[in-house]
Amino acid sequence: MWKLKGKVISKKTKILVFLFFFLILLSLIFRPVLRDIGDYCIIDSQCESGICLMRLCRSSTLFCGDLFCNNDETCETCPRDCGECFDRIGASCNENVTCPSGYCVHNICRETNTHCGDDFCDEGESSETCPEDCYPGEAWWI
């Protein structure tokens, strides 16, 4: 027999109290666990951040460094995901065909086949035309 402040508690009240505590216990045991950034997910609601992209919880939809070139990422904003830009002057290169100008000079895309100021006295440069690269009396053939 349960009593509260000297009054007997009815069977109906006992059942309601039991159900109330039982539901609280169930909600604690079976509550959804939100996943951290980088954890596997299927839908946004599984992630603490609310963003599930490419089956991973993300902090934002634009995530540089996740190995996916997506959303607004480009080779300039995120080379880790999109790769290095080979379609612009000043980008690194290995051969002429990777440069828009067709000139890969000492592993840098240039507008012409020589570049004054790259510390190389190239063909067509001399101390008169490019004193930064060629010493006085020196030319590319020396």
Percent of the chain with pLDDT over 90: 0
Whether pLDDT at 2 is above 80: no
pLDDT band at 111 (very low <50, low <70, confident <90, very high): confident
DSSP 8-class letter at 3: E
Rounded to whole angstroms, the Cα distance separating 101 from 19 reads 77
> pLDDT tens digits for 49-77?
898 887 888 887 667 887 778 777 877 78
Q: What is the greatest pairwise CA distance in the chain?
A: 114
**Residue 140 confidence (pLDDT) above 70:** no
Q: In the prediction, which pLDDT does 100 show?
A: 77
DSSP percent split of the chain into helix, strand, coil, nearest 5: 20, 15, 65
